[in-house]
Amino acid sequence: MSKFLNASIAALLIASPALAGDKLGLGREALPEEIAAWDVDVLPDGRGLPEGRGDVFTGEEVFAAACASCHGDFAEGVDNWPVLAGGFDTLDDKDPVKTVGSYWPYLSTVWDYVHRSMPFGAAQTLSADETYAIVAYILYSNDLVDDDFELSHENFAEFTMYNADGFIIDDRAETEYAIWSGEPCMTNCKDSAEITMRASVLDVTPDVEEDSASDATAGSETQTAAVAETEAEETKTEEVAVAALDPALVAEGEKVFKKCSTCHQIGEGAKNRSGPILTGVMGRSFGGVDGYRYSKVFKAAAEEGRVWDDESMAAFLTKPKAYLKGTKMSFPGLKKDSEVAAIIAYLKSFDG
């Protein structure tokens, strides 16, 4: 071991059963190709970046195809998915908007994360150039660069993020530990204790009966019925065909569909995202949406004339990759038969 070890680390090593130099000869040497495949992290100073480049214009296209279904066309975030742009000057608010622009201190973090862990459900599929382009577009959507900006391994280190100086290293030892220690008060610690806030007022606690099969209660049945009624009224005015479906099941399916909505849209105004439009999917041919780039297995199924019915949809949704080997749908499958039935009812409620 190094003679430069500081005292505490040296002490730790000596105290441990695996003494310095006492190697067991286990494992094998990692090959350069293997290290290159896995060691792809990028350090704040830019070390680890591959060569490449991408501009805002290209980035907008790649972003629209790969990122916008969750993050929005303008990086504004869809539903609960992360907002990537804006939020400047909100960090001292009670609800700070922490975006790439307003909060992230290093550009390397953006590049590294996009390249390695995005898009959600298809990580490690973006090329270096695509990643440079997406990062350039995210900077543009934050008004941090102009529309003719191009990001590359050459100019990467020159860019300083907006909140680069916004962080301090953990100082709790100095600011907190000293004042929150010692013998605490045991009696007459304050004059009174009055309730100032109650959780029930907000009423955001999940209803825990829902997932507990063992105790179905009158209470939850009443609530389900109420939801179903509302849902029935809404669907009645929209489509007559829906009348044949169990509105409670459709309502349940709408909840389950949240798992799908990462990649799929359904209903009025739906567009192809990372997955095809699902409006009218029941009764349609496999691979039947124009303009969507299906995987080979879907194209083959379409040629065979296969059609989505209850049985095929249930089999696919239970184990997508087993049912259609080679599908690029990353969803692992629904575990409960009740969820499958609900989602099929929901899909049927949009008959295109």
Partner 1 sequence: MDDALKAPSRRAFLKGTAAVAAGSVAGAAAAGTPDPLITEVQDWASATGAGVDETPYGLPIRFEADVVRRNVEWLTASPISSINFTPIHALDGTITPQGCAFERHHSGAIELAKEDYRLMINGLVDTPLVFTYEDLERFPRENHVYFCECAANTGMEWAGAQLNGVQFTHGMIHNMEYTGVPLRALLNEAGLDAAGDLSDKWVYVEGADASSNGRSIPMEKALDDVLVAFKANGEALRMEHGYPVRLVVPGWEGNMWVKWLRRIEVTDMAVESREETSKYTDVLEDGTARKWTWVMDAKSVITSPSPQSPITHGPGPMVISGLAWSGHGKITRVDVSKDGGITWETARLGKQGDTKALTRFYLDTEWDGSDMLLQARAMDETGYVQPTKAQLREQRGENSVYHNNCIQTWHIKPNGEAENVEVS
269-298 residues in contact with partner 1 (CB under 8 A) are none
Residue among 132, 150, 156 nearest 52 (CA): 132
188-203 burial, b at 16+ Cβ within 10 Å, e below that, comes to: eeeeeeeeeeeeeeee
Q: Say whether residue 103 binds partner 1 (CB under 8 A).
A: yes
Residue 184 C-beta: closest distance to partner 1, Å: 5
Q: Say whether residue 8 binds partner 1 (CB under 8 A).
A: yes
- Report how far residue 79's alpha carbon sits from residue 71's, in angstroms, rounded to the nearest whole number: 9
Residue 67 C-beta: closest distance to partner 1, Å: 14
Going 19 to 20 to 25 to 27, the CA torsion angle's sign is positive
Residue 7 C-beta: closest distance to partner 1, Å: 10
Residue 114 C-beta: closest distance to partner 1, Å: 9
Shorter beta-carbon distance to partner 1: residue 108 or 131: 108
Q: Say whether residue 225 binds partner 1 (CB under 8 A).
A: no
Applying CB under 8 A, which of residues 13, 216, 226, 241 lies at the interface with partner 1?
Answer: 13
Stretch that binds partner 1, among 58-66, 255-263, 264-272, 294-302 (CB under 8 A): 255-263
Applying CB under 8 A, which of residues 200, 237, 244, 290 lies at the interface with partner 1?
Answer: 200
Of 297-326, which residues contact partner 1 (CB under 8 A)?
none
CA atoms within 13 A on the CB side of 229: 6
Q: Tell which phi-psi region holds residue 105, choosing left (phi > 0), alpha (psi between -120 and 50) or beta.
A: alpha
For residues 63 to 102, the per-residue mask of contacts with partner 1, x marking binding by CB under 8 A and - elsewhere, is: -------x--------xxx---------xxxxxx-x-x--
- Report how far residue 119's alpha carbon sits from residue 180's, in angstroms, rounded to the nearest whole number: 44
* Residue 220 vs residues 105, 234, 249, 260: alpha-carbon distances, Å: 47, 21, 15, 26
Strand partners, 223: none
Q: Say whether residue 124 binds partner 1 (CB under 8 A).
A: yes
Of 37-66, which residues contact partner 1 (CB under 8 A)?
38-39, 41-45
Pairing of strands 53-55, 150-152: antiparallel
Q: Say whether residue 258 binds partner 1 (CB under 8 A).
A: yes
Shorter beta-carbon distance to partner 1: residue 123 or 302: 123
Residue 269 C-beta: closest distance to partner 1, Å: 20
- Report how far residue 120's alpha carbon sits from residue 188's, in angstroms, rounded to the nearest whole number: 54
